[in-house]
Amino acid sequence: SRTQVGIVGAGPAGLVLAKLLALAGVDSVVLEARDRAYVEARVRAGVLEAPTVELLRGMGVAGRLDREGMPHTGISLRFAEAPGAPAADHRIDFADLVGTGITVYGQQEVVKDLLADRVDDAGLPVEFGVSGVALHDVDTDAPSVTYADADGAEHVLRCDVIAGCDGFHGVSRPLVAPDIAERVYPFSWLGVLAKAAPTTDELVYAHHDDGFALYSMRSPEVTRLYVQVPNDTDPADWSDARIWDALHTRLACEGFTMNEGEFLEKPSVTPMRSMVASPMRRGRLFLAGDAAHIVPPTGAKGMNLAIADVRVLADAVVRALRDGDTGGLDSYSDTCLRRVWRAEHFSWFMTSMLHRFDPATEGGDAFGVGLQRSQLRYSVTSRAAATSLAENYVGLPHGAV
């Protein structure tokens, strides 16, 4: 079979790209390794930047997001003024500082909305459960994708352009063979979803001597929580009681109480890394989202960056296929990498400022801790520093970087 754009991966990048192309009258086929129930249930990110929300609204897929998403106009950084002192909250007021905010809405809800729109309403193709995906002839103007469908039947999909939206472990990046800039952090996050009403209106990022903790939410009934753990942590070593104990200790603060509740899924451990692949292109193959770059989750940027990439890609592909102008495709990688590196820096900054590093290493020795403390204080006492944090967190306008 034949389509204009072959899209590998039905995550936020692949599905937003498919919708933007459909709106411009460009055909695509989305190939996804997992089944629909799996991608709709996969709990991951939860923070949508302001430009992401505006884009989804402009695409006409934000009905439920506008009803159920939780608009937030700030976050709190929670830390003690000195080792052993009681912690206090320091609010970063996005509305005051930069005139906008974020929306808390689960990534899998975005994915559900996009699949309902494409598959159920528009009847456009997403092939779930494919295997053996291989990309061919990407250096020519007639690339193709071969794969086996869920029943094992082999297919060849010929296209004009291939979008590698297949995440960190996909098949696209190895084929591009880009240069890799990378940093692996000496800690991971253990994440849980609890049937417990959140007790704050906003997210709390806590810096504590035992390690970082994050208090987030998904709805008025569900809390999303993370604690810093060593790399290679086996979640089986963390009983529910141990997780709650760590959360209570690290989030302790005058006037703060936390509701406990049953965990709605098994605790997961996410390693923390930064990675940038460049260029994000080889011939007719274009990488987008986690296939091209990874950020540590502390800046809440992963899904937002994936969506920003495919906005640029959709415009470039439409220009090329409709007007025969390949300028957008030629500048795609450079354009995306400017925003990618801004998000990489911000995510590294938040990660370095908020986590506890091993005292035997540079990050965690007396000098390292002194720098962290100074940066925390500066971030919440200087309007200039708070504004910089706020503008990055809510997301710079698309095209502004």
Alpha helix segments (H runs only) across 238-365: 240-251, 302-323, 327-354
Binding to ligand FAD (CB under 6 A) within 151-190 occurs at 165-167, 169-171
Contacted entry of ligand FAD, ligand DHB, none for residue 34, CB cut-off 5 to 8 Å set by kind: ligand FAD
289: left (phi over 0), alpha (psi -120 to 50) or beta: left
Among residues 8 and 312, whose Cβ is nearest to ligand FAD?
8
208 is catalytic: no
Among residues 129 and 364, whose Cβ is nearest to ligand FAD?
129
| Residue 109 touching ligand FAD (CB under 6 A) | no
Joined tokens for residue 274: 């930064």
- Residue among 178, 198, 267, 297 flagged as catalytic: 297
| Residue 40 touching ligand FAD (CB under 6 A) | no
CA-nearest of 56, 61, 14 to 34 is 14
| Residue 391 touching ligand FAD (CB under 6 A) | no
Which residue bears the tokens 């991966």? 9
Binding to ligand FAD (CB under 6 A) within 265-294 occurs at 270, 289-290
CA-nearest of 372, 80, 375, 377 to 249 is 80
Strand 5-8 and strand 28-31: pairing?
parallel
Contacts of residue 300, Cβ cutoff 8 Å, sequence gap at least 6: 45, 46, 47, 102, 393
Contacts of residue 69, Cβ cutoff 8 Å, sequence gap at least 6: 48, 53, 103, 104, 105
- Residue among 147, 185, 205, 226 flagged as catalytic: 205
Binding to ligand FAD (CB under 6 A) within 343-382 occurs at none
Q: What's the angle, vertex CA 300, arms to CA 336 and CA 277, rounded to 5?
A: 35
Contacted entry of ligand DHB, ligand FAD, none for residue 165, CB cut-off 5 to 8 Å set by kind: ligand FAD
Least Å distance, CB 376 to ligand DHB, is 16
| Residue 386 touching ligand FAD (CB under 6 A) | no
The answer to whether 74 and 92 are in contact (CB under 8 A) is yes
Burial of 24 (0-12, 13-18, 19+ CB in 10 A): middle
206 vs 267: CA distance, rounded Å: 19
398 is catalytic: no
Residues that bind ligand DHB (CB under 6 A): 45-47, 203, 214, 216, 224, 297-298, 300
393 is catalytic: yes
Contacted entry of ligand DHB, ligand FAD, none for residue 203, CB cut-off 5 to 8 Å set by kind: ligand DHB
Among 164, 178, 302, 395, the residue binding ligand FAD under the rule CB under 6 A is 302
10 vs 170: CA distance, rounded Å: 12
Provide the mask over 217-246, with x wherever binding to ligand FAD is found by CB under 6 A and - wherever it is not: ------------------------------
Contact residues: ligand FAD, CB under 6 A: 8-14, 31-34, 39, 44-45, 107, 130, 133, 165-167, 169-171, 270, 289-290, 297, 300, 302-303, 306
Which residues are tagged catalytic? 72, 205, 297, 301, 393
